Chains A and B, each alone.
Chain A
Amino acid sequence: MKPYLLLAGLLASGAASAQDMPVLTVYTYESFNTEWGPGPRIEENFEAVCGCDLQFVGVGDGASLVARLRLEGARTEADIVLGIDTNLTAAAAETGLFAPHGIDPEGLDIPVEWTDPVFLPYDWSYFAFVYDTSVVPEPPANFRELAESDLQIVIQDPRSSTPGLGLVLWIKAAYGDEAPAIWEGLADNVLTVTKSWSEAYGLFMENEADMVTSWTTSPAYHVIAEEDDSKDAAIFEEGHYVQIEVAGKVASTEEPELADAFLEFMLSDGFQGVIPTSQWMYPANTPEGGLPEAYSNLSTPETALLFSPEEAAALRDAAVAEWQSALSR
């Protein structure tokens, strides 16, 4: 930033600069826009090229983004909503509050073909059970082995957490009608169920549980930020369910061109390059410099599983009910 701009910003506390420049408001989940998340760096990179004021608004978690938008309806300030995953995009699209992006994304590095006309992906990873290699020397190779083991896992509640819902759909995708039997087998391995990812991962880090539902890319955090290579993700033969996080343009936006520019920017290096070391997920479009070295050492599954948004929406209630009744016995 130029010195005089900085000075102006300090003097006018942002209000004056916001008057001269168009504002783009992006609703995202809380953790995206903390000082440790990708928000601040992306904001800096986009504002360097857009001649605008990019404002991230952190709104709870991924699940509450759509609820917030529906609460506000067409009156919303949001121009972009960023942070829904494909398990929830059907419900989001159904609200009619989003407009098509009109972009033909080429060369995306995600494990499925992208055809969604409304939402665009920005990062992804595989759901997986993360463990400590010094505690669990031989991790299970599939859900049945996990169910037969004495290992204790912490999972998230699919009624309040997106990784929780991801695990339920993972087992549904891998086992279909047998999913309830798998859950019954897992019931004695489930140490507890938490409201959100943070509590579950916290319990795992306090050595309460042997494994925790997280992502195959989570170990990269420990390698890069803590120089600790003891965490790994257990790779299951059934394949791993994919979480793809997406953004969409709000139909009622007063800055449609700016919103389109942001979505274009989202797939470029200025955005994608920030993702690996702040979101700890794979960027949807690998930046020019490639991924950090720690990413090339990560365990990765052979098979990617994913329901289409429509399938996920149709299956969700029944799959969660199966989960609930199996674990309530």
Chain B
Amino acid sequence: MQISGLAFNYKNLYYLKKNLNFSAQSIDMRIVPFIISAALTTGLVAVLNTPLSVGKTKTPRLGYFLSPQQGFWQNAEPENKSFDANIVVDGLQDKVEVLMDERLVPHIYANNDNDAYYTQGFLHAKFRLWQMEFQTYVAAGRLSEIVGPDRIATDRFFRRLGMLEGAEATMKKMANNPALQAAVTSYANGVNAYIKSLQPSQIPFEYKLLDYKPEAWTPIKTYLFLMFMSYDLTGRGTTTDLQMTNSKNYFGYEDFNKLYTNVQDSLDPIIPKGTLYEKASVAALAPASLDSLYFAKTSSVAPNAPEAPNKNNGSNNWAIAGTKTKSGKPILASDPHLGLNLPSLWYEVQITTPTHSTYGASFPGSPAVIIGFNDSIAWGVTNAGRDVLDYYDIKFKDTTMEEYWFNGAWQRSVIKEERIKIKGQPDSIDRVAITALGPVMYDKSYNANGSDGKYLAVRWTAQDGSSGLQTFYELNRAKNFDDYMSAIHHWTCPGQNFAFASVSGDIAIKQQGAFVARWNRQGDFIMPGQDSSYLWQGMIPASENPMMKNPERGFVSSANQMSTDSTYPYYLGAANAFPLYRGIIINKKLNAMFGVTPLDVQALQTNNDNIFAEMARPAIFKFLNESSLNADEKKYLGYLRNWNLRNDVDEIGASVFRAIWDSLEVAVWADEFKSAALPLQWPDESTLLEQMLKDSVILFEDNITTPNVRETMVDAVTAAIKKATPQLAQMEKDGTLAWGAYKDTRVNHLLKIPSLSRLHLPIGGGVHIINATTGNHGPSWRMVVHLVDGIEAYGVYPGGQNGNPGSKYYDSFIDSWAAGKYYRLLFLSKEAAKQNSQFKWRLTFTNS
């Protein structure tokens, strides 16, 4: 190589010399300015065709990016653009007609199911291609390929978690299911038909910004996306199991058990208290070494996981029976609370074929409708919050990780070499050991400082793959309760509460998933991994999962709280995975409602009553010594006292309450937690509140940094008010004291670019509130379905149908969403749609 390179250079020099001689002889003196201007032109093209480094980020190739005929200007969609089109593609069996309504929701009318999914794939790609591909890059641990070396830790994390293995296992399971496999393949063909039809100038904006190109879509990408949803809804254990281990080691198990108690006095479970359960058919026996190896203090770990799903990932859903509604027909409501992003996670669609007619929110990246309704039933989901992810402490023979000690012998592990491509750098190889207890997440090469030299294998039900898509496929077609039950029976991960209502009058809810039969506290901490005694002993049969049909009280509901009381014969997992308060207020309100209309349900879904504050405010005043407060402190206390307990946009009391409560948590816990010097999760807010309500001794009320003084809860409350006051005064000065400004809700672009995001949205709500909107998180799709004949449905999500930031449909629903307004969902036959003035465009798809 080197030699020939030299030879080449030498030859070049030779020609250059010859040229110079030649030009000198031909005496054209313009050769010098020619060379200079040619060099300038070439240099200018080169600079404008190269991403330049600005600080830590890189610019796009500026010339390309600004080029009118190729660059971003091509993505500036005309305001009055017509979406009418006759599209000719390969691979359809028959002609497909799509009618687009004024909100850019496609209504797909196809003569067979596969053509419908083909078209859905095409439309997802047409309006959301960048996002759907980006999400699967993240899931597959390929982010570095697009954004460069900054995200290698994230890529290694997802690869080590077994995302690709889970997606591959799902794909294998699909082989037993030809109809669904055909649906996923048709969907992929539709996506690829769009990619193929795409002129380079028309690729979505973000590709131009980050300077890469779409690649072909494959079914595995659909499964990777579904793996990402499993991670988003069950992956918190990757962080919390480590933090809980640290807490147990720091406080000792006895105190730990009080701080992170599994007893929630105010719990109103999904299945009402007092329900009788059969004895467990799968016994989970705790190992004999429990006290010495598990509950005892072990060594602590402090890896910095590059990613962790949001703690508030959760949802509300409920179904109200005809006995409580004005029409006599059921009403179902569902609103999944997830990270709020642009382009949105959701895309509305109607799919009508001879086998079914379904409307709802779909995932760009997957065929079928995920949360929606058809002409007979409606369904909605909330997260079950059950623990399906555990860590095992593995003993390897040496650092090669080729053999590990298990059940009294050295076992061989499988070593997998993960090749991570990195933009602008050579590939990096990550060496991952896979054991019978799962792939090793933390080892000497990944977060070694934090994991204290330990090897931690991660076992997660999602790694086994899932036939979950079958659930949605069947729900899309379900006619009645029995169809619903058989559909959700396929569901494994993430565990979900499926609410159901039918035109025929049934309502039901079932918590469904592949749940581990656990002994008490199994998997809350890192488990010993040297023998089988700590392994999962079995899964709970689906027939024993909590469920309820047509209850006397006339409604079913769920809001991520514990599904049952403590008489349920299986361990549900640590209680800090189950928020308490939304469930309490939803049930309280539903109990009191009669003659319910869809409008009432919309009002409930967007309700801003703060039940947590309703319980906490008297507790604060109980421990208050007002005489020690100055005038300013008393002023803000007055706001709290006079507050109407609603977290509406303009409420000042809501901000005052939040500031004081946060300060109170700090006053009680910070002294102990700071001295731990380890990443610990703070106890839930309910832990402190329930102790204050009970009048019992309050844990850690004494401030340990003042050894000569014994503080009480009264001191803590006073300190909290004194600490919150200057902060509140500053906000009042800045004009950000009203709750909407304090909370400052935004919908971020997936790349967190501010100008592509929507900031400072005027919306109320918050944690513990039915309208669970926090800073960058909240109701990601609000749906209300009235199960009358023909269906009356309403919905809205914080985004828009077109993922292109240059389209007016990019964020067109956000203002309605923030204002708590809904759109009437147009669920019509093709003939009716053609007559309807709200339908604007027509796309036909024909085979070439």
A associates with B: no
Task: Show the binding face of A for B, using Cβ within 8 Å.
Answer: none
